[in-house]
Amino acid sequence: MRTKTLLYLLMGGLLSAALVIGGCKPKKPVQARQIPLEDFFKNPEKARYQISPDGKHFSYMAPYEKRMNIFVQEIGKDNAVRLTAEKDRDISGYFWKNPTRIVYLKDTGGDENFKLYGVNIDGSNLQCFTDFPKVRTEIFDDLYDFPDEMIIGLNKRNPEVFDPYRLNIVTGKMTQLAENPGNIQGWILDHDGKLRAATAIVDGVNAQLLYREKETDKFKPILTTNFKESLSPLMFTFDNKNLFAVSNLGRDKSAVVIFDVANGKEIQMLYENKDYDVSDVTWSRLKKKLICANYESSKQERYYFDDEGKQFYDKIQKKLGNYTFNVTSLTRAEDKFMIRAYSDRSLGGYYVYDLAKDSLQKVADIAPWLKEDELAEMVPIEYTARDSVKIQGYLTLPNGYTMETAKNLPVVVNPHGGPWARDGWYFNPEIQFLANRGYAVLQMNFRGSTGYGRAFWEKSFKQWGKTMQDDITDGTQWLISKGIADAKKIAIYGGSYGGYATLQGLVREPDLYAAGVDYVGVSNLFTFMRTIPPYWKPMLDMMYEMVGNPKGDSLQFVATSPALNSDKIKTPLFVAQGKNDPRVNINESNQIVEALKKRSITVEYMVKDNEGHGFHNEENRFDFYRGMEGFLAKHLK
C-alpha cells in the first residue's frame, strides 16, 4: 500500500550515444512573435467545465474580481449564474454533488487548510461545512449513490490524522464514523456507502490493509507489506465482495488486479504493461464494468477491457484528430459526457459528447488568445545517464527550430517537483513562455519519477542531490554534446523539489549553469524535515528511508543541503517564496538568500505574503514570471 505521493511538493560517467527522438519531423518555420507574458499566465477565460448529473446544466470556473469562481449555465441558454464571490483566493476545486447543489474547497492564503463549502445552483444556501481554525478538510468518498451525503476527513481532533465523517450537504449535519487510531491514511467505502476497508502505516514503514465484513465488526489487518510494495485499492468490486486495486506485489510494474479482501490475496490480474505503471481505471457505474486501464508512456495511453469501451473512445478521438482528451464528468444516465481536449501546444477546450447522437459540440476554448502555430512542440526524448540508467523526458525548442537546425541555443533546464512525480506531454504555460522567449527547455524524468516501475522509483532513495542530480547534469551535458545548447548560456529552474535540484545544481556544478531560479525549493534537509506539515508525521519513518534520517544520515544531509554548501555557489540566483507555505517553510528560502548575500553573490528574492506552495493569485504569477524573464535575459542573453 505504498503512497508514492508522499512528498508531492507541487509544482517535482559519459553519456551513451543511444538516443530516441519522437515527433522530430522538420516543419515549416513560423515567424516567432513575442507573445505578451500575461497571455501565458492570466486566468483562463473559462475552465474546469463539468456537466450536471441530470444533464440540464454545465458549470465552469471563470474570473470574478481576478479570482476563479464558480458559474452555472443551463444548457441551451446564454446566461450564466455566478455562484461564488471569492475575492482573496481562487477556489481550489469543486464538483456536482447532486443536480441542484455543488460543493467546493478553498484555503486561506495558501495555508492548505481547506474548508468545504456547499451552494445551490441558483446561488442560494451558501454555507461552510468545516469552518474550523487550522483544520484541513479532505474528501474520502463522494457517495455518488447518496445525493445529499458524502464522506470527508478532518484532522480537528488530532492535526496528524484524519477522522472520517458522513456529511449531509443540505443540512450540514456531520456524523463521525470512526476514530483514526493514528496510523490510518485512507478509508474505503463499498458501493452501498458502508465503511469497509482502510489503509494504514504501521511501525513507520510497513503498509497495511484493514478490512471488516460489516460496519459493526472491528477492522482486522489482512495484508502487511513494506511500503516499497504497493497495493492501492481503487474501489470495491461491483458485488462488494473484493477490491479492484493497482498492485506491484511480486512485480516491478503496477498492474490492475482483483484482490480477495477476505483472504488477503490477489485472485486475478486484469492488465499489466511491461514498461509503465498502470495509474488507475475508468469504469461505468451504470453498466457496472471496467472500461479501460490508464497509464502514461511519453503520452497518455489506455488499455481497453472490451470492444465497446474502445469504440466509445475511438469515436471521440476520430472527431478530435490529434488532440489528447479526457472525460471530466458525465450524467448519471451516461448519455452525455464533458470532454477536455488538449495538446502540447494548446490548452484546448471543452466539448459535450452526446452518445445517442454521436455528436461532439464545442462548449468553450480555455485560452483562445493563444494560437497553436505560434507555440512550440514538446518532443519526447531519451538519454542514458552515466551509470547506464535510461532517462526519458521532453525537449521543447523555440518555434521554428527542429532537432536538425537547433544549434547553440540558450537553454533552461527544468527538473520537476515531487520528486516522486513526473513530467508529461501536455500544454505547460511555463515551458511555452520560455520557448517563446527563445530558450530551449529540457525536462527529464530523473530516477524516482513515477510511472516507470518500482525499481526505478527505489533508485531515488537517499539520493537527493546525488544520483538524482547526476541525471539532471547528464541531461544538460547531453544537450551540449548534441550542439543544441550554448554551453555558456544554460540556466536551471525548478519548483519545490525542482527548486532544491536548482540549488544543488549550482552547488555541484558551479561552472555549468549561468543562472538559477529557485521557486519554493528546499535548501536545508535538516530544517525541511523538522518543519513538515503535521499530517505527514505518521509517514516520517518512510521519509527517513526515502530522503534520509537527520541523525543516521547527518553526514549525507550536510553534503547535500545547498544552504550548508553555499560557499560553492557563484552563479546568480533568483528565489521566489510564499510566506504561508506549509510544505517548504519560508525559512528554506531565507537561509539560502542570507548565505549568498553575505558572500555578495547576486541574488534576487521575491516573497508573497498571501501565497503558499506556489503562487496562485494572478497578479503574483505575473510578478514572478516577469521577474524571472528579466533575470534570465540579464544572465543568459
Catalytic residues: 496, 581, 613
Q: How far apart are CA 155 and CA 513, in angstroms?
A: 43
* Planar angle of CA 589, 612, 346, nearest 5 degrees: 105
Q: How far apart are CA 391 and CA 60, in angstroms?
A: 38
Which residues, including other chains, have CB under 8 Å from residue 442's CB and lie 6 or more apart?
393, 394, 395, 411, 412, 413, 414, 475, 476, 479
Crossing angle (nearest 10°) for helices 429-436 and 618-636: 40
> What is the residue type of 173?
K
Report which secondary-structure segment, H or E, holds 543.
helix 540-546
* Planar angle of CA 320, 350, 77, nearest 5 degrees: 125
Pairing of strands 195-202, 127-128: unpaired
CA 576 to chain centre: 20
Instruction: Decide: helix, strand or coil at residue 544.
Output: helix
Q: How far apart are CA 317 and CA 548, in angstroms?
A: 45
Crossing angle (nearest 10°) for helices 467-481 and 497-508: 70
Q: How far apart are CA 236 and CA 201, in angstroms?
A: 21
The neighbour count for residue 116, using CB atoms within 10 Å, is 21
CB under 8 A, 24+ apart: contacts of 159-164: 159/134, 159/135, 159/534, 159/535, 160/534, 160/535, 160/537, 160/538, 161/535, 161/538, 162/136, 162/138, 162/535, 164/140, 164/195
User: How many angstroms separate the Cα of 491 from the Cα of each of 321, 472, 614, 615, 622?
Assistant: 36, 12, 20, 21, 20
Which grid coordinates are listed for 311?
469504440
Q: Which of 416, 498, 478, 494 minimizes the C-alpha distance to 21?
A: 478
Q: How far apart are CA 136 and CA 535, in angstroms?
A: 9
Q: Residues 288-298, buried b or exposed e (16+ Cβ, 10 A)?
A: eebbbbbbbbb
Q: How far apart are CA 247 and CA 269, in angstroms?
A: 9
* Planar angle of CA 204, 228, 181, nearest 5 degrees: 30
Q: What sign does the CA torsion over 364, 368, 372, 377 have? A: negative
